[in-house]
Structure 1
């Protein structure tokens, strides 16, 4: 298959960065996104302004492109399946299906032989109360679908936290209660799988969150070689099980003994992989474009240590200071309005590489 035009469902900053990477490799991109002048459309070759599941828009996208990908995991599975009937869709729709529902996702990851936090399905207030009894009154209650950046969650830290009305307060929708995990740090790994099954992984990043939103990703992570190898192995297992093509982000908790508990996966390029554009010759965005276009994957080795920091809300006010730094790459997302919790861009500060990648 010769690819000249890549369709991207979703017009946010991830789609924007994919379109920029595609342009460097001489591909055209068309974005399907209902928001006019979205960040991705500002750099893509065209935009179809319509809902993600609009049949006419999907037909137009399929007719104009050689392959379709997506920038976020809440694309309707039915839309991806409809497209897949006439055009390659990467990552495959089954990856979307596995990642969209936290209960399905946990069961899928466990089925791959990878441990997660203990969990219970919660479909009523009585389910919630029973699950909390199982977990000693503690846990994180989450919506099974559509939650991100800490949204759609409630934390129960002890039996003193009342569960009264909690099920209704989160919308009366299917929920999941996850047990607490006693961990030392959070890491993530960005991995890519090509159409021929070859897998390439970037170095694991150590992540710090604030208010449920990723604040920084630091590479190298403070983990042992054995932990890094385990993260890569888990990624390879998940990618093979999904017959995956493209980039995936997988988050883990690192336990005191160095073992891993999988937290969640995202079938797309990932915020915790933004550092790759500054510290690697081939970024996660280029790697994804290479994969979905059927090209050879690039070298994922890093040439520098780094810290990536999100610019969220009023963080953008410090932009002049970041621009004065000689060791920092600044990347803005084309958003004109700053508001609390909104990702406006990111910065990646480089230092000399101090350790050999595991």
Structure 2
């Protein structure tokens, strides 16, 4: 079988963390937003934690990579760079994705804008505001099977930012929990409605 075509042999990464950074590029320059950690289960996003709880050296390396990639991209708009990060400190680029990504919605909880607004402004040639990041947040997609538990949480969590999508969407919506991670993550865990990994 190996004689029929070439193959690429890659090392297996055992349970790496998944980090990502959202960027917006225009002719005027590049804005890079905080590094986030995306959590997945069975290839579905279960949470985005912003900012990612990693060393400053890791953040600086991700920002350096983002600027280097951006300089070589003939592209205008929002894009995301996703990484694998291992316990040994290895950082691997997983994917470069044009346009808004599900985890980028967490910006709505940390800024006064959205990735969609930034993307449209960029591709229309409108100026991009200097976006200020105000605090921390967790984004949680809402699946159909969570609907019962979510109905209860909506009644007792008025400060959480709930958004539901049109019928037939998967996920059916998302919630952004703004605030310091030291309080939001325990509050999310206490609901038993969401599946977040502890790091």
State if a TM-score over 0.5 links the two structures.
yes
Q: Which residue of the partner structure matches residue 172 of structure 2?
A: 344
Q: Which residue of the partner structure matches residue 326 of structure 1?
A: 158
* Residue 201 (structure 1) aligned to one of 26, 32, 37: 32
Q: How far did 1:241 drift?
A: 1.4
Query: Contact conserved, 1:328 with 1:350, CA < 8 A, in 2?
Result: yes
Query: Contact conserved, 2:20 with 2:82, CA < 8 A, in 1?
Result: yes
In 2, the alpha carbon distance for the partners of 1:183 and 1:223 equals: 16
Q: How far did 1:321 drift?
A: 2.5
- CA-to-aligned-CA distance 1:196-252 (integer Å, 9 cap, x gap): 3x1001101111101101110001211111211211222222222122110001110
Query: Contact conserved, 2:160 with 2:178, CA < 8 A, in 1?
Result: yes
In 2, the alpha carbon distance for the partners of 1:245 and 1:308 equals: 26
Q: 1:229 to 1:301 in 2, by over 3 A?
A: farther
What is the SS of the residue equivalent to 2:179? strand
Query: Contact conserved, 1:223 with 1:258, CA < 8 A, in 2?
Result: no
In 2, the alpha carbon distance for the partners of 1:291 and 1:261 equals: 28
Count of residues in correspondence between the two structures: 181
TM (norm. structure 1) is 0.46
Q: How far did 1:316 drift?
A: 3.1
Of residues 201-210 and 308-317 in structure 1, the stretch that sits farther from structure 2 once superposed is 308-317
Query: Contact conserved, 1:185 with 1:254, CA < 8 A, in 2?
Result: yes
Q: Which residue of the partner structure matches residue 21 of structure 2?
A: 189
Q: 1:322 to 1:289 in 2, by over 3 A?
A: farther
In 2, the alpha carbon distance for the partners of 1:264 and 1:128 equals: 28
Output the aligned Cα RMSD: 2.5
In 2, the alpha carbon distance for the partners of 1:343 and 1:286 equals: 21
Q: 1:330 to 1:179 in 2, by over 3 A?
A: same
What is the SS of the residue equivalent to 1:275? helix
- CA-to-aligned-CA distance 1:263-319 (integer Å, 9 cap, x gap): 012101011111111221122111111211212222333212111011123223333
Q: How far did 1:130 drift?
A: 7.9
In 1, the alpha carbon distance for the partners of 2:99 and 2:44 equals: 17
What is the SS of the residue equivalent to 1:214? strand
- CA-to-aligned-CA distance 1:66-99 (integer Å, 9 cap, x gap): xxxxxxxxxxxxxxxxxxxxxxxxxxxxxxxxxx
In 2, the alpha carbon distance for the partners of 1:183 and 1:201 equals: 26
In 2, the alpha carbon distance for the partners of 1:247 and 1:259 equals: 26
In 2, the alpha carbon distance for the partners of 1:329 and 1:320 equals: 13
Q: How far did 1:194 drift?
A: 1.1
The within-5 A match list for 1:19-168 is 126=2, 131=7, 135=9
Q: How far did 1:322 drift?
A: 3.5
Q: Which residue of the partner structure matches residue 171 of structure 1?
A: none
In 2, the alpha carbon distance for the partners of 1:224 and 1:128 equals: 45
Query: Contact conserved, 2:109 with 2:136, CA < 8 A, in 1?
Result: no
TM (norm. structure 2) is 0.79
In 1, the alpha carbon distance for the partners of 2:131 and 2:139 equals: 17
* Residue 104 (structure 2) aligned to one of 259, 267, 273: 273
- Please say which structure displays the higher CA radius of gyration: 1
